[in-house]
Every structure is written in structure tokens, then in C-alpha cells.
Structure 1
Amino acid sequence: HSLPKPQFSSWLLKQVETGQYAGLCYVEPNKFRVPWKHNSRKDCSDEDSKIFRAWAVASGKINEFPNDKARWKTNFRCALNNLSVRFKMVKDNSKNSDDPHKVYEIINTAQNQDGLATRDPWEDADIIPDIYSSSTEYLLSANEHDLVNDLMALGLGSQSTEEQPWTENYGQQNQPATESYPVAAENNPQLLPVQQICYGVTPAPVLTSPQPGLFDLEVSIHYRKKEMVKMTLNTPRLQLHYNSEALGYEAFKLCFPSTDGLLDHKQIEYTNRILNSIQRGLFLEVQETGIYAWRQDRCHVFASTSDPSLANAEPAKLPQNTMVELLNFEKFVNELKQFKENNGRSPEYTITMCFGEKFPDGKPLEKKLIVVKVVPLICRHLHEMAQMEGASSLYSSNVSLQISHNSLYDLISSCFPLQTAEDPMRDAALFPNQI
């Protein structure tokens, strides 16, 4: 049996104190430096990657990439950046040719820890029934039978007669090969450079004009009531992953934050089970016709644009390795027209995705362990404009938006040039129905 994965913050500080890693040491009582030599340098040795390899071993990732120094470093960087509540980078000397390194400040001292304890704690008696009381059909780990037994011993009610794991059960032979991942066309002119981000590195706002573009998205990640990440991105493609970037795919890489900033041990345990099953996670694609998703790995994902508090809302589980439409722009525009004519309710455009738990099921969203919300800002802009200024504003010359068009593509193109290619289904080939 492998050892449990340690908490990164305490693990890292212990490594700093050992003095066993060249260049990893304290520079002040509350600051330490980490060697950060680029792998492409000719003088890069095993010693330079020692701390990155050590975390790959401690986190259990070494078996996935036993000889990949770049992946060791990415794994370490994600874990470090995820802990912005604990560590803050104060110097980036990674480009220094003589001594490349980064300096981090320990910002969550013992005094601050006491302050954290006054925050709204998670009730132990509440969390486990909340996760499993509706049914135990969505279990997370390969040891699902052990988990069922544990839950039954806690008196959490009967199991569903038709048990389905929270994660897909498939053998190694069914996993798609690396070259089978969606690969962007090399000559596609509008592709953005590959980017990756881990929690703690929030990009600057991308909105430079009052009107958002088609690719402007507000993305937030929530672990129960705690908002872990909130950022505004400008990208046609987004990968939501957990330390498992899909190499060779042009997308903004957003790593789920670690649980090190959480307080409740049960919440941490069950959230980690979901995170470890997310892996390559989910791709989101913004096309001219709508927003689409592609689930890559075992963790079940439920998505909806409906009001999550509605008990009769139908849970929609995303199938694996299949492109699924999450939001249809034409439907949104038609609903917006009806809303303005007082013939319909306010259109829904916030995409809510729940990882590892059935959703929506009528329970409060803040009870869910991992929730991602994606808001296309052009939809929010049109909706708010319609609410604040009335129907006449949608036809005014200063706005130049023709709500009579049948799709958001036409609606936006009448206002400003699109960032997308001419063919509205240009990317359909990126997501075949089967891998």
C-alpha cells in the first residue's frame, strides 16, 4: 500500500529545513528560495531537479512520469502556486543565468493560523451525509467497496440498488493513447498560445472595452462555500485539470487548487478523492454556435444552466470522450428576445459544473464539494443591458445590436468583428464522437 499524500505546505517546509537540496534554503526567517533552473540548459543536472522529483515521489506522481523532469517541475509548481494563502512569490530570479531561483515568503504564520480558525468551519456531522445521503451510486476511488462499507458503518442510509461509481471503471487498454487527444490544426490562425495557470497566479483582467468578446469568460472554482479561484480569461479553449495537462493541445490550462487551504479534515479527504480522479479533467470549447465540453477522464461531471435550487431539474452527466453542448447561443438569444417582450423568463447562461456528485438535485450548491462556474461575459453583457435599459436599447444606434438575428454569432458580428474563423463548425473535427 502506498503512503497517503502529504500536505504540500508542511512537506515543503520540512524539505527546506533538512538542507539536503542544493539551493533550497531559508534566506530570512519567513522566506525561502527554491532552485529554478530550466531543463533545457546544458548544465542542468539531476541535483537541480531533486526537489521536484522528491515531490513527484511524495505525491505519488512518480509512477505516471518516472523520468520526465518537466512534469516533475509542473507538478511541483502547481502544488506551490495552489497555496497562495500560504506562500507568496516575492522574487523571480529564474532567468538569472548564474543562479536561477525563486524566493517565497511564508505569509500564513502561526498568528494567521489562529485567525483562520475563526472562519466559518465545516460541521463534521454535516459533510458526509451531505455527500452520500441521496445515494452511494457516485463513489470516487477504486476502493469503492471499502468506502461503501465505511459509510454504512456510519449509518448513512441504504445504498442505491443500481450502484454506479463516481468514476468510470475502465481498464488500461481502454484509455486513449496520447496521440488520440484532440489536436489543434497547425494552421488555424486564431489559436491562442498554450497557457497554463495554477491557483494563486491570477491573470490581469482582459476586458479593455465595455463590450466583452466571444471568448471572454469568467471562471470560478468553489470547494463547498469557499471560492478558491475567480478569474477572467480570453480564450477559445480551456482545460480544467488536476496536475495532468494535456500536452500538444492549444488551450488555457487551469489547474484545480489543492485542498491545503481548507480546514475541515473530512472535506479535505473527500475533495481529494474527487481531485485525484479528475486528472486530465474537462475541455471547454467556445464556438460560434455555443459552448461545448469534452470529458477526458474518470471523474463524473454533471453540468447545467438551470437554477441549481430546483428540485425537479434533471441531472445531466457528461459522457466521456464525447463533445456535448453546454450552452446554445441561438437559444439564449431567442430567450432574451422573449424576455424583453415579457413573454418569457430571464435566460440562463451561467454554466455550472459539479465534479463527482450528482447535480442538480435540489440541494444547495454550496453543499457540493467541487463546483466550477463559467459565465460567457458577452451573454451577461447583453442580459444586463436588456434589463437596465429596456428593449429600445437593443436597437439603438450607439449599441448596434440586432436582437432579431437568430444567433449570438450574428448578434455579435453586427457589433464588432468576431475572433473566430469563418466556418462555424471549424473545430468539429477536434472532437470526434469516439476516440
Structure 2
Amino acid sequence: MFRLLRRTMEQKESPMRLREWLIAQIDSGNYAGLSWENEEKTLFKIPWKHAAKQDYRQNEDAALFKAWAVYKGKYREGRDRADPSAWKTRLRCALNKSSEFQEVSERSQLDISEPYKVYRIVEDTHTNTESAASSIKGKTSTEIHGQAVLHDNSNNSRVSGERPAETRLEFYTNNNVGTYDRPANVSVTLLTTWCPISDFRLLVYVFYHGKLVHKLITTSPEGCFILQGSAPVGNERIYGPCGAHTLSFPRLDALLLPPGIAEAMSRLLPHLEKGVLVWVAPDGVFIKRFCQGRVYWDGPLAQHTHQPNKLEREKTCKLLDINSFLQELHQHLQAGGPRPRYEIDLCFGEEFPDNNQPRSKKLITAQVVPLFAKELLEGLQKHDSELNLSLKSEAQK
């Protein structure tokens, strides 16, 4: 297996990208459990067994992760210490950071005897730029931190009933716009197909009985633990050892809280050991509950708006879908529809939403704000407003 890999490396003058390399490994048939999931070869399955499982076999279960480490020069057989967890983390991070792969969480199976993840190969927009330019009059190109979030290309499907856009928008996190050109009768068009985002930041607020006690902006693509105590160690069924931020609940003795409230919180906090992990992925915002204490939530994808939504322990839950957010944003800007929701509220130990008690009366709550959504909405609203003022001024001359 590794002899074949070395031959491949020697034959190529330049190293293969992750996409080329991974397709070659799938087609080779050398890795048990690594296979295509559809005839079009756009979905594939990667075995994802936790190293702590009793039936874990390093030679078989870590083979693909080891191969990637060898290919990238991060592991030298016979010279470096074997570290299956690090190998796995390296490939996982490469997949998460690549714009050419998107995890299909609903098809992944992580709680079975032979767990696996399913990924989709995303159309390479860079290679289709020229064909896109010839088939579309304009494009919407939104950038966060200088990397494209939304692209148009010839394969993109549009929102039903919309007409081709004549729009060019470059949007940055500091809200400075380099170009914003469009005819007066054309609104900003948001496409329903997109490139994975590159802004993984989360703005996290923690409240004690309605009072803000902590605020944090996370920058790690691994997300953020919100917890009491320490983060789970060595749990790889979802993310394994990772560089997630840790937001610990503030100590009660450092705050001025009513005696009854402080006592109730002191009983609740020990049950929030290990907490929750929330993160931004290419297709949305996700959360996983690790703590024994119950956690409830409200947000864009919540099943109920007037009764509690409970997070199941050890199960990944999708909180926001980027494609749905973009469609709602399109309707908001084009047709005056409702403002799209992107804030996510968490409530620890108490049912939520609760018609009988507002969030401000709950013992411990948190709000999670994906900054890519916040800045995209606010930026487009700002520039729509500026454009309308400019058009109004021109009309009055």
C-alpha cells in the first residue's frame, strides 16, 4: 500500500492536492471501508473508528490517516513515533479546511460498531470561472477575510423565479466595499449553491439569570466548548483531539447574585461538566452535548418555537443550515421577507423555550452568533441602504 503511494509521489513532479490524492486512494481499493457512496462518485465514505475502542486495529483503522501523514511528510516510518490520533486529526482538519469537500452529517454513522463519515466532493469553482463568465452576465462574490464565500458558476441553480443578476459585490468583514455595481432595478442575488465558508468565528455570550457574565469571540475552526470543568479528553467519535476554544462558566463567588439564585446555580454547574461543543462547518452550525445535565436550545432549525427543544446527549445536532439562511436572506433583501435568523440560544438545566418564564429568568443561558451570518446580513443591508439613498439623491437632482 505505502509502496504504491511512494511510487505515485516519485512519478509526479508536483504533489497532488487532497482531492486528487483522496480520489486515488478510494479508487485503489486498498483501504477497508473507504468507498464511493454513489455511481456519480461525488459521495464517499471514510471509516472513523475511535482509537479507544476495544476492537481498534491500528494497521487497518488508521491506515488512511497514516498514509496522508506519510504523503505530507509528517510521519516517517521507522523514525517518528506512531500517533494515530494526530494522523486522524491532520486529515480531518485538511478536509474541513478544503473548499472541495463537505461533510454530509445526516449520512454519517458514528455510534455503530464500524463508524464512518460521509463526505461530498464539491464542484471546483476555480476551474469553472471562465465558463461561468461566459454564461452569466454577473456574479455575487461575497468575501470574508479575503476568501470567497459565495460564487456563481455555470452549474449553479437559482432561487425559483429569479432572473440573472447583473451584480458584482465584494464584501469584507470591515464592511468596506471595493465595488458595488448593478442596475437600479436589480437587487442583490444570493445563490442557493455556494462554496464552503472560510469564516469559522463564533461570538459567544454567557448569561447568569439574564446578566451578561462572559463574552468570547472564537477563531478556531474546531469550534468552542461551553462547559464547567475541562473538555472531554481523547473523544474522537466526532472531532478527536482538537484545538477548540474552551469557555468555562464563571465562578459564582466572583459575582453578585441573589442567595437563592446562587445556590441553585451551584447545584446545576457540577452537572455541566464537559458541557457542549459548538462549531461552524462548511454547510452550517452544529452542536454536540457531552454533559450529564440537560441542555435546551432555540434557533433557526429548532423544531419548536413555543415549547422546549432538547439536545440529545452524544448526538450531533444541526443548528443552522447555510443554504436555508442564504435563501431567507435573498427573500429578505429582494421581497421584504422576514429577517433571517442566525442567533442560537442555549439554556442549561431548564426547559427552553418556556412560555411561562422568559430567558432572562433562567439560571444559565448562552447565545451563539456565527459571525459570517451576522456580518453578511448587516453588510448587505448597509449597502442596500446606501444604494437606495444614492438613487434617491440622483432622482431629486
* Larger relative contact order (Cα-Cα within 8 Å, sequence gap ≥ 6): 1
Taking structure 1 as the reference length, what is the TM-score of the superposition?
0.42
Taking structure 2 as the reference length, what is the TM-score of the superposition?
0.46
